[in-house]
Structure 1
Amino acid sequence: MDEAQFNAAADEMLAHIERALDGCPAELDYQVKPGGVLELEFEDGSKIIINRHTAAREIWVAARSGGFHFKPEGSRWVGTRDGRELFAALSAMVSQQAGEPIFLSG
């Protein structure tokens, strides 16, 4: 996958995450920032940062629970450490920081 293809795929996934957050019942705000960055802020002031990392061809997520990298595999984005699907991992991270069970549909 070349750089342009990766950026298009990552931007599409970030837009998909935005749509999922719009339907999320948790008390959180999010901002889209330049360069493929999505910043979520929770009621308690904690944050989750999601960004595309073009050089590594990955989407990186920084949350209270740690840092995670996801690479494209077909139509899915999977964790480089554990193979976990991006939306399943994000659901767990958002649930932890929101203090309530959250399911983000991917």
Structure 2
Amino acid sequence: MTDLEFMDHAEQLLLAVEHSCDRINDTSDADVDSQRSGGMVTLTFPNRSQIVINLQKPLHEVWMAARSGGYHYRFDGSHWQDTKGAGEFFACLTRDASQQSGMPLQFAA
């Protein structure tokens, strides 16, 4: 994958996270604050816990830090998969965001 291809796919991922937060906030009682700074998105929940998603351009990876741990994702041509087999990015984000917020949340590409 070229740097440009990585950035295209990674930008789509970050936009999907932001759009999912908007949808969640518009359709539920959840209050997920999404702040973006360049290649990093920070999700903050009412209990003040956070999930940080950032791009690692030299490695062509997206990293996610949550209470459950740190994860590295690579694009496999169709999905962002954890490099150690923990699963697909949006499934893991859904799991961790739901756990940290204390309510069921759904993130999608």
Counterpart residue number, 1:30: 34
Question: In 2, Cα distance between the equivalents of 1:29 and 1:83?
Answer: 25
Question: In 2, Cα distance between the equivalents of 1:3 and 1:103?
Answer: 29
AA of the residue aligned to 2:34: Y
Question: In 2, Cα distance between the equivalents of 1:103 and 1:18?
Answer: 12
1:79 aligns with 2:82: yes
Counterpart residue number, 2:92: 89
> Between Structure 1 and Structure 2, how many residues are aligned?
105
- After TM superposition, the score normalised by the length of structure 1 is 0.92
- After TM superposition, the score normalised by the length of structure 2 is 0.90
Greater fraction helix: 2
Can you give the 5+ residue segments of structure 2 that lack an aligned partner in the other structure? Answer: none
Residues 45-89 of structure 1 show CA distances to partners (whole Å, capped at 9, x for unaligned) of 111100111111110000111100110011211111115111100
Can you give the 5+ residue segments of structure 1 that lack an aligned partner in the other structure? Answer: none
Tell me the percent identity. 36
Q: CA RMSD in A?
A: 1.2
Out of 55, 70, 75, which is 2:73 matched to? 70
Structure 1 residue 105 displacement after superposition: 2.5
AA of the residue aligned to 1:30: S
3-state secondary structure, aligned to 2:59: coil
3-state secondary structure, aligned to 1:51: strand
Greater fraction strand: 1
Q: Is the 8 A contact 2:20 2:106 kept in 1?
A: no
Greater than 4 Å deviation, 4+ residue runs: none
